[in-house]
Structure 1
Amino acid sequence: MTTAAIGSAQGEIEFGLNSFGEIATDPSGRVLSDAETVRLIIEEAELAEPVGVDSFSIGEHYRTEMMDSANQVILAAIAGRTERIRLGTSVTVLSTQDPVRLYAEAATLDAASNGRAQLILGRASSPESFPLFGFDMADYETLFEEKLDLFVKLLRDQPVSWSGTVRSALTEQYVKPAIEPGAIPTWVGVGGSPQSVVRAARYGLPLMLAIIGGRPSRFAPLVDLYRRALGELGHPALPVGEHSLGLLAATDDEARETHWPYWRRTMEKIGRERGFHPPTRSSYDADVRTGALFVGSPQSVAPRIADAIRDLGLSRFDLKYDILHLPADLRARSIELYGREVIPRVRELLAVQPEPGEVIGHV
């Protein structure tokens, strides 16, 4: 499977932005409507292209505060207003999608964007799509495994013959529009499950790590497992990426004081739903200093991203920049700082080979 970026030691790193379509506010504090938020995402992708961001990806959720459920439709709108930036999903919930329809949509987006489409496939960390589309969470593993098998076949070798338990069989079936085998970079997103890592290796697909807390380096054993599995299965080396959250501002204090109230409210809500304790300010500050929250000034955030890329041997780094009710102007400023200041600085830091034991970029 081809991909846009091959290994931090072998080629250019891809730097992307992720949106989950979270509803924003205007500078006065007015909550934007659902439609205004969809249009805002399109405008933000337009902004990301000229400031130097390589890719723009949109999630798939079915929550009242997230407007990303029809992500391929939004990406198609972005395709008509941009020329270079790659357009992808920061997650496609394959378990509750039909692989044939997904292939047709992705291939159509690829044609409309002149070859800029890419995908990240996931099992879903939130369960809302299962009852919405009539699926049983008890079939969580079977749904993803079988649908991934069919989708990979559609991407790689048509006509397709396939049979399984989760949908009707296909016999010598072509699905249009046609693409070259492997033309749409397709990653498997994982949150920390070794079984998911090995599955990605088994299908010969790049690995995207969703790292939202703790030190990114703690995922190194999973990366090692993935690379060992690729070798044992006879696959070539494939890219590894990281998806993490953050916010850029002129100073560290401004970024943290801006981001913390929104982060606290978001995590308190998720905590109530899933039964875990919300973050304290001290745990938040620890994740900002050394963990997977990339919140701060460009001068502070860039070295931490460079460290994560080195520690895990990444080929791609995606920053999720939106969070519920964050004002649109602060979202735009974060995008600009990421593209104009953070990405160039990370590239500079990665071009310097540190001596053993040396830390590059930190004061």
Structure 2
Amino acid sequence: MVELGISTFGETTPLEKTGQTYSHEERIRQLVKEIELADQVGLDVYGIGEHHREDFAVSAPEIVLAAGAVKTKKIKLTSAVSILSSMDPVRLYQQYATIDALSNGRAEIMAGRGSFTESFPLFGYDLADYEELFDEKLDMLLQIKENTNLTWQGKHTQTVINKPVYPRAVQEDVPIWVATGGHVESTVKIAQLGLPIVYAVIGTTPKNFKPLADAYRKIATNEGHPASRIKVAAHSWGWIGDNHEQAIQDYFYPNKQTVDNIAKDRPHWREMTKEDYLHSLSDQGATIVGNAEYVAKKIINTVEVMDLDRFFLHLPVGSLPHEDVLRAIELYGKEVAPRVHEYFQKKEKV
């Protein structure tokens, strides 16, 4: 059965009705409540991304996840993503092994190269080494996962000679997913390693990712990796409201705030128009906004097209009132998820 979850960056953009912005400390506290509610309404996984900029509150997702771990019972807790290229793999493993202890085996790592690059100069890394840093650090992280005592010869990392890494994760095979925006080269590398993959499906229709997902499975299978590790997930932006048209109306302003902020730093992005927004909600776009019935149908379509094992609704993109976010999570768990699960249960029986 497909796993359904939430991803978030802890957005802090101005609220439409008041013009006020949640402080970073307030937004971080809100996230712990959101994790707790997601667990209570039966969602499967909650992921928090790492950023180092004003419009996102979370630079250390592992700390927020640890706070959520002690307040939850079943939900899996993951980064979404950890910018592995600018992190110490030893420290990253120790942090998530600690979350695994606090949650009794519910921690996961989602590693990424970092589509936002503020962390590179902040921690003293050269963007010219972008690919090499990620590849080396991912290999090192996998070595740490497999061996208590680490022996490692580093180029961009430290060299370690037979030193133990503690604590060890509760899960013997703690999941390490790798996120990608949909580059062919990344898909091939992840498949060859036999690691589960997460596609950021945010700029185009999910059907454009199907060839990549199919290629990932074929390559990973041909490499001899076990089926239990060959998994595909997707993450898409979205919002859920009690009223369909109102949800569409409410989501435009915060969505535009985030897109416009990103466009300032990325020449291939542009400020969002209302036409752009409505296109993203169409069958040609990936954004999923509306009432529970509509959101469930669009998630089902995404899952079917890409044959997903897991789906993340990024909720919200841009700031909305916290009470509205909590209501959206409640709708997701109580009304959207049952519809999605019921659909696939009936399909399996046919």
TM-score, normalising length from structure 2? 0.94
Q: Partner letter of residue 158 of structure 1?
A: T
Aligned to 1:21, the other structure's residue is in SS state coil
- Do the aligned partners of 2:202 and 2:236 also contact (CA within 8 Å) in 1? yes
1:281 maps to 274
2:2 aligned residue (5, 13, 17) = 13
Report the Cα distance in structure 2 between the residues aligned to 1:288 and 1:326, rounded to whole angstroms. 18
**Aligned counterpart, 2:153:** 163
Q: What secondary structure, in the 3-state scheme, does the structure 1 residue paired with 2:246 have? A: helix
Query: Counterpart of 2:347 in 1: which secondary structure?
Result: coil
Aligned residue in 2 for 1:269: 261
Task: Specify the SS of the correspondent of 1:120.
Answer: strand
- Check conservation: 1:103, 1:151, Cα contact below 8 A: yes
1:1-37 Cα offsets, whole Å, 9 max, x none, are xxxxxxxxxxx21111111011267885542222111
How do 1:117-156 and structure 2 match up within 5 A? 117-156=107-146
Q: Tell me whether 1:78 sits opposite 2:68 in the alignment.
A: yes
Cα distance in 1 for residues equivalent to 2:35 and 2:338: 19
Q: What corresponds to 1:256 in structure 2?
A: 248
Which amino acid in structure 1 is aligned with residue 325 of structure 2?
R
Aligned residue for 1:88, secondary structure, equals: strand
Whether the 8 Å contact between 2:7 and 2:46 is mirrored in structure 1 is yes
1:3 — aligned with what?
none
Q: Show the counterpart of 2:345.
A: 351
Query: How far apart in 1 are the matches of 2:99 and 2:319?
Result: 29
Q: Residues 275-316 of structure 1: CA distance to partner in whole angstroms, max 9, x if unpaired? A: 232333223212212221011111111011111111111000
Do the aligned partners of 2:11 and 2:57 also contact (CA within 8 Å) in 1? yes
Q: Which amino acid aligns with 1:110?
A: D
Q: CA deviation at 1:182?
A: 4.7
1:116 to 70, 86, 106: 106
Query: 2:169 maps to what in 1?
Result: 179
Where do 4+ consecutive residues of structure 1 move more than 4 Å?
A: 24-29
Give the aligned CA root-mean-square deviation in angstroms.
1.8
- Quick check: 344-353 or 22-31, which moved more? 22-31
Question: In the alignment, residue 253 of structure 1 is paired with which amino acid?
Answer: E
Provide the secondary structure at the position in 1 that maps to 2:264.
Answer: helix
Cα 1:180/1:229, change in 2 over 3 Å = farther
The answer to whether the Cα contact below 8 Å between 1:157 and 1:181 also exists between their aligned partners in 2 is no
Structure 2 letter corresponding to 1:307: N
Match of 1:4 in 2: none
State the partner residue of 1:189. 179
Aligned-pair CA distance for 1:264: 1.7
How many Å separate the matches in 1 of 2:195 and 2:115?
20
Q: Which residue of 1 aligns with 2:331?
A: 337
Instruction: Report the CA distance between 1:344 and its aligned residue.
Output: 0.5
Of 274, 284, 289, 1:295 maps to 289
Counterpart residue type for residue 353 of structure 1: K
Identity %: 39
Report the Cα distance in structure 1 between the residues aligned to 2:294 and 2:171, rounded to whole angstroms: 41
TM-score by length of 1: 0.90
Preserved contact between residue 24 and residue 37 of structure 1 (Cα < 8 Å): no
CA–CA separation in structure 2 for the residues paired with 1:33 and 1:271: 22
Q: Is the 8 A contact 1:24 1:327 kept in 2?
A: no
What per-residue deviation string (whole Å, max 9, x for no partner) do you get for residues 174-196 of structure 1?
A: 20112367531110000011111
* Kept in 1: contact 2:101–2:170 (CA 8 A): no
> What is the distance in 1 between the residues matched to 2:66 and 2:94?
13
Q: Deviations over 1:233-265 (max 9, x none)?
A: 221231100011100011221111000111122
Three-state SS of the structure 1 residue aligned to 2:137 is: helix
Equivalents in 2 of 1:45, 1:184: separation in Å? 20
Unaligned residue ranges in structure 2 (runs of 5+): none
Distance 1:58-1:99 versus aligned 2 partners, 3 A rule: same
Take 2:171 and 2:256, find their aligned partners in 1: how far apart are those partners? 44
